Structure 1
Amino acid sequence: MRKVNSVGLMTSHLRKLVNHLEKLRIAEYVELMQKPRRILFLNFIAGLARGLGIAVGATIVFALMIELMRRLIVLNIPGIGYFIAEIVRIVEMKNGGTF
């Protein structure tokens, strides 16, 4: 009787372990580790996506900053207006535009 209970208990623990390992997707990880070219490809694609995201994000942030500076120039706040106007003028000159 005791052996039957210990076998049932062991089977229950083994099922829990198998379910846990399946949730962790260990088999897919081991398979991936056996294919170094696939790892390099996935990391390359991830790097491209990160680089594109950084470039787009930085462009949006800088565009918003320049627009905010332009609006501050219109307010004509003494001291700050001239300083911001110079920054915007320098950026516009570098981009080939005129201010």
Structure 2
Amino acid sequence: MYSKGIEEEDIERKLQQLSDRTAEILESHRRLDRWIVLLQKVQLDDFLYNYTQPMRIIILNLVAGITRGLGFTLGTTLVVAVLVVILKNFVTLPIIGEYIADLIDIIDFHRQNNH
């Protein structure tokens, strides 16, 4: 019986050690999960990828600049065209008509000179 008692105590001690170690591993796992979530939020992998490839950044910024410039130009052209169409309908008004007619003449003059 004495040897069984020692064996049971050893088993209980080993189980307690395993339980403690399991708790430590779970806590480490939780901390690691928090780090993973934090790094995903920060997008560190994208930052490091872009940092190690500066030519990619240059090309992306060039394409973004061209796209913004093209969008600004097309948007301005569209807005001005719509305004000209709307203003042409108001040319027949007595007071505003002369001012709008002059404005349309100025726009037409600049449009012809730029082409």
Instruction: Tell me, yes or no, whether TM beats 0.5.
Output: yes
Greater C-alpha radius of gyration: 2
Superposed counterparts of 1:19-98, under 5 Å: 19-22=37-40, 24-73=42-91, 76-96=92-112
Rounded to whole Å, the distance in 2 between the matches of 1:61 and 1:55 is 10
Unmatched tracts of structure 1, length 5 or more = none
Structure 1 Cα separation of the partners of residues 74 and 94 of structure 2: 33
Please give the alpha-carbon distance, in whole angstroms, between the structure 2 residues aligned to 1:85 and 1:14. 71
SS at match of 1:79: helix
- Once the two structures are TM-superposed, the CA of residue 36 in structure 1 deviates from its matched residue by 1.4
Structure 2, unpaired ranges of 5+: 1-18
Distance 2:111 2:63 in 1: 30
State the aligned residue count.
94
- Which structure has more helix as a fraction of its residues? 2
What SS does the corresponding residue of 1:70 show, helix, strand or coil? Answer: helix
CA RMSD after TM alignment? 1.8
Give the secondary structure class of the aligned counterpart of 2:90: helix
Higher mean displacement: 13-22 or 60-69:
13-22
**For each residue in 1:26-62, what CA deviation from the matched residue of structure 2 results, as whole angstroms up to 9, or x when unmatched?**
2122011111111111111110110010000000011
Aligned partner letter, 1:86: D
Q: Are residues 1:18 and 2:51 paired?
A: no
